[in-house]
Amino acid sequence: MTLAADLRLVLGADRVLDHPLDLQIYAKDAGVTPGTVAAVVFPETTQEVAAVVRIAVVHEVPIVARGAGTGLSGGAVPTRPGLVVALTRLNQIWEVDEAAHTAWVGPGVINLELSQHTTPLGLHYAPDPSSQSACTIGGNVGTNAGGPHCLAEGSTVSHILAVELVTAGGDVLLLGGAAPDPIGLDLVGVVVGSEGTMGLVTKVLVKLTENAPEVRTLLLAFPTIEAAAETVSSVVAGGIVPAALELMDRPMIEAVENFKSCGFPLDAAAVLIAEVAGHPAAVEAEAQLVADAGAAAGATEIRIAATAAERDLIWLGRKSAFGAVAYAAPDYYLHDTVVPRTRLVEAMSGIYEIGERYGISMLNVFHAGDGNLHPLVAFDAKEPGMLEKVRAAADEMVKLSIEVGGALSGEHGIGLEKRDLMGEMFSAVDLDAQARLRDAFDPIGILNPDKVLPEGSRCFDFGLVANLDPESAA
Amino acid sequence: MTFAAIEEWQVSAPEGAPAGALVVAPPNLDAVARVLGWASEVGRPVLPWGGGTRMGPSGGVVPEVVVLTSQLTRVVDWQPDDLTLVVEAGALVDDVEAMLAERQQSAVLAERANGSTIGGMIASGASGYRRLRYGPTRDRILETVMASGDGRVFTSGGRVVKNVTGYDIPRLACGSLGSLGIIGQVCLKLWPVPESAATLDVTVDAFDGLYRPMALLETEDGAMAYLAGTAEEVAGQAAAVGAHAQPGLQWPMPLGGDVQIELRVPSPLTSAAVTQLRNAGATEFRAQHGIGLVAAEFDSWSSERLEELRTWAEGQGGAAVVLASPQSDIDRWGQAPGSVDLQRRVKAAFDPRRIMVPGRLPGGV
Ligand SMILES: Cc1cc2nc3c(=O)[nH]c(=O)nc-3n(C[C@H](O)[C@H](O)[C@H](O)COP(=O)(O)OP(=O)(O)OC[C@H]3O[C@@H](n4cnc5c(N)ncnc54)[C@H](O)[C@@H]3O)c2cc1C
Ligand SMILES: Cc1cc2nc3c(=O)[nH]c(=O)nc-3n(C[C@H](O)[C@H](O)[C@H](O)COP(=O)(O)OP(=O)(O)OC[C@H]3O[C@@H](n4cnc5c(N)ncnc54)[C@H](O)[C@@H]3O)c2cc1C
């Protein structure tokens, strides 16, 4: 029987797509590289996911987990004709434990909906990617997603206590648990951020965070981008870790103001959005510290939101950034690299230099407090040679980040987009260690193949260890 | 690889090391890798040794090679303005924290570390009491450089505070108890130390009224809440619960006896765990409210008591872990997790000849 026929036996006719027109929609995520899809399935239970995996194994078809498809690195894009397993229908909020500050949820739950669900309890789910109204918890687990408020609270991995995982063999495993420090190796930490290469996550135990009693949001305007970056460095060095520190440059401010008028100063070269949250007595002092750091760096304007409405307006500006770009240009390529915070100024000037040299139009809005850069290139893919140019510039930006001591990706993942740059950061021996770890989870190589690790990463065999020549390995 | 290549690093055994084992103190991580490569070839079980403060029951396997990290003690790179620190695994936690304190920073490792090393602390997955505020140690390990069980030196993660480049092996190394290989160097994320701190004498009921304390502890002597932040915040919170406040964070003395059991349960069950341990005859205990960890000390060893505590803790989705026991072949963990086969394969990925503390993890992994 064909793959689709076998799948229909388990899921029925309407939860299996294999018409070419339907498949096209699932051939891409929010990034720029398309793939090829053999079929798309919509399981609704863990058992159905396991059954689907076993069928794919029999048919030797690669399995690609998919959440909302808002990923930007090609993680949910099948490279060889693959089976896309959409986990969006596993979207129950199973149980919220108010005393423990935890919740068991399906991977298909939308990030923002989880926080809305727990608002009446005074709790929220802390990682807040800018895509939070669309992306899923499963996708967030897949990429170890970050967000503006991960500066103080940490990325997704710090908020995941347990996962239910369907393995490459179609078995169901529970990793982690509600008790602290589960015994044995920390496999939850490996699964989070593994981009669907270690298994399919079918249930997640998340940690919920108490809402802060007091919040202050500041908007600081600067005459140069360097002055804004300097403020970030001096706040971080100054002994407080704010809840958020986001930077926007002039092109981005203009795009946002054209799209939704949020009252951002159009004459500034950069604005910094800073938020401090916590005990009322601390918030006052910390807001002052941020304001002082901004003033010392030459801020031309320092606004402290006086009301909830003013605060919401500032965040509306920040969260509309990508929508604003989509509105202004047919295509965009959103980069994601990370650098030490002490090298922010240097990294930013390097990135502008690359943009100018390639003659591409670039806008910046990013998680400056983490050193997590997001140069965004707006372009028209129909223009011949444009995408190639954009990609070449991207590679240079990544290499620049590595040169100043940074890493390939802070939150969007490696996927397809950065796979072949892994060698810029890791040696053959480093990559081999990662490949072995992956093989331990997926010995048959069926889970999201061609992602994360470049071809040939698994370069040494067990028996050869002793003869390994360190020169050739490096 | 021959024995002659590693012989020069042989040293005398530290106190408490297994009798008859070959003890080496390699001068750097490449040398550590050579020792492990040799041990893999000849099939000798290896025990990494940091401060040796917390070896715990061995799982019944007698190591033939003990590798000390005592020569790996350098502070490689401290970036105070980036809140990151690169340090070798054999450095003492207390020395590192004392250095960081000069710039009001901390790696938030276990308090009162008494001779523990950075590597040992990470390998044992230990976190300090301040995890209530800052999260467990595994949230702060940004990069590791390790020698795998089969003698290869590899780097994972990166020296930035946010990173998804490749699989999170640094997190896997945390709590691996030496089963994958030897951690030689790590990059840690630091936190600024707040300007003001206080320790409040309270009752357990008062815990709920505090916003984001550093720690909420209960011992046989009573309950303490630990606050830190701006002076106004600390004073304001103390006043709100009406408690007597001592300045600074006054941590209790660590447990030190030969018989210690730790219960790990969902955090709302912390008080229930205390009751279980008291009823089982605990003489001293350290309960971390809001976390669900309670370590307790007993006068004497009893297997029945361990079984009873285990039955209860495992019934709550937790575990009863033996931290110290006069019997070396005791089952330290209890019921192995359902993922034990996968755990075995993960270990084999780094330690194919199974020489690294074989049997030390749950399920004899
Ligand atoms: C406008 C915009 C703004 C964004 N802002 C941010 C941001 O601030 N921070 C940030 O981190 N990201 C951001 N992103 C990227 C993206 O939203 C995140 O990567 C998000 O986590 C993806 O979730 P998703 O549900 O769309 O997953 P998908 O894109 O469908 O999948 C992402 C990866 O996870 C895997 N996966 C999905 N579900 C599962 C599962 N159940 N089990 C196992 N693997 C699974 C997939 O195979 C894939 O590798 C942004 C994207 C856009 C378009
Ligand atoms: C006073 C005190 C109280 C404690 N109380 C608790 C407690 O209540 N709960 C708790 O969980 N822990 C507790 N610990 C555990 C403790 O924090 C860590 O286990 C300890 O810090 C280990 O440090 P060490 O250098 O002495 O390691 P060691 O005792 O030398 O080693 C600990 C383990 O890690 C391995 N190891 C050591 N160094 C490395 C390395 N570089 N690479 C790989 N593996 C390595 C060893 O093989 C061993 O399995 C306590 C420790 C102390 C000192």
Q: Where are the domains of chain B?
A: 4-70+348-364, 75-192, 196-247, 260-324
Please provide the average confidence, as pLDDT, over all residues in chain A: 94
Measured at the CA of B35, the angle between CA B34 and CA B40, to 5 degrees, comes to: 95
Q: How far apart are CA A146 and CA A336, in angstroms?
A: 11
Q: How confident is the model at residue A462 (pLDDT cuts 50, 70, 90)?
A: very low
Please list, in sequence order, all residues whose beta carbon lies within 8 angstroms of the beta carbon of residue A43, skipping any fewer than 6 positions away.
Answer: A11, A15, A49, A51, A52, A85, A87, A89, A90
Tell me the pLDDT tens digit for each residue of A114-151: 999 999 999 999 999 999 999 999 999 999 999 999 99
The average pLDDT across A362-388 equals: 93
The average pLDDT across A202-223 equals: 97
Distance from the A276 Cα atom to the nearest Cα atom in chain B, whole angstroms: 13
Q: Does A409 touch chain B (CB under 8 A)?
A: yes
Q: How far apart are CA B166 and CA B32, in angstroms?
A: 25
Please give the CATH topology (third level) of the domain spanning B75-192: 3.30.465
Ordered by start, the domain boundaries in chain A are 3-86, 93-210, 214-323, 329-414, 421-473
Q: Is the pTM of this model over 0.90?
A: yes
Architecture of domain A3-86 in this structure: 2-Layer Sandwich (3.30)
Question: So what's the pLDDT on residue A460?
Answer: 58
Contact A213 B161 (CB under 8 A): no
Contact A193 B168 (CB under 8 A): yes
Residue of B nearest to A402 (CA): B158
Question: So what's the pLDDT on residue B57?
Answer: 57
Nearest 10 degrees: CA dihedral of B343, B349, B352, B355?
A: -60
Q: Is the distance from CB of B114 to CB of B254 less than 8 angstroms?
A: yes
Of the listed ranges A399-408, A450-459, B180-189, the least confidently predicted one is A450-459
Q: Which CATH class is domain A214-323?
A: alpha beta
Contact A100 B127 (CB under 8 A): no
Name residue A345's amino acid. V
When computed from its CA atoms, the radius of gyration of chain B, rounded to whole angstroms, is 21
Question: So what's the pLDDT on residue B55?
Answer: 65
Q: How confident is the model at residue A329 (pLDDT cuts 50, 70, 90)?
A: confident
Q: For residue A310, give both structure tokens.
A: 């003013």
Q: How confident is the model at residue A330 (pLDDT cuts 50, 70, 90)?
A: confident
CA dihedral sign of residues A382, A388, A391, A397: negative
Between strands A102-105 and A93-97, the pairing is antiparallel
> What Cα–Cα distance (Å) separates residue A116 from each residue in A94, A133, A210?
15, 11, 13
Domains A214-323 and A329-414 belong to one CATH topology: yes
User: Of all residues in chain B, what percent are helix, strand and coil, respectively (each to 5)?
Assistant: 30, 25, 45
Architecture of domain B196-247 in this structure: 2-Layer Sandwich (3.30)
Q: Is the distance from CB of A297 to CB of A238 less than 8 angstroms?
A: no
> In this predicted model, which residue has the larger pLDDT, B176 or A322?
B176
- Phi and psi torsions of A138, nearest 5°: -60, -45
Measured at the CA of A285, the angle between CA A280 and CA A286, to 5 degrees, comes to: 95
Domains B196-247 and B260-324 belong to one CATH topology: yes
Q: Order across the sheet with B196-202: list the strands.
A: B244-247, B196-202, B222-229, B215-219, B284-288, B293-297, B260-264, B319-324
Q: How far apart are CA A159 and CA B138, in angstroms?
A: 12
Q: Which CATH class is domain A329-414?
A: alpha beta
Please give the CATH topology (third level) of the domain spanning B260-324: Alpha-Beta Plaits (3.30.70)
* Residue A366 parent element (H or E): strand A361-366
Please list, in sequence order, all residues whose beta carbon lies within 8 angstroms of the beta carbon of residue A249, skipping any fewer than 6 positions away.
Answer: A225, A269, A270, A363, A364, A365
Q: Is the distance from CB of B206 to CB of B232 less than 8 angstroms?
A: no
Architecture of domain B4-70+348-364 in this structure: 2-Layer Sandwich (3.30)
| pLDDT block averages, 10 residues each, chain B of length 365 | 85 88 96 97 95 65 90 97 97 97 96 92 96 97 98 98 97 97 98 95 94 96 96 92 92 93 98 98 98 97 96 98 88 95 98 95 94
Q: Which atom of ligand 1 is nearest to the CA of A156?
A: 11
**Global ipTM:** 0.96
Closest partner residue to A179 (CB to CB) among B319, B333, B352 is B319
Q: Is the distance from CB of B284 to CB of B220 less than 8 angstroms?
A: yes
Q: Is the distance from CB of B110 to CB of B131 less than 8 angstroms?
A: no
Tell me the pLDDT tens digit for each residue of A228-248: 999 998 898 888 899 999 999
Q: How confident is the model at residue A464 (pLDDT cuts 50, 70, 90)?
A: very low
Is A93-210 assigned to CATH 3.40.50.300? no
Q: Does A150 touch chain B (CB under 8 A)?
A: yes
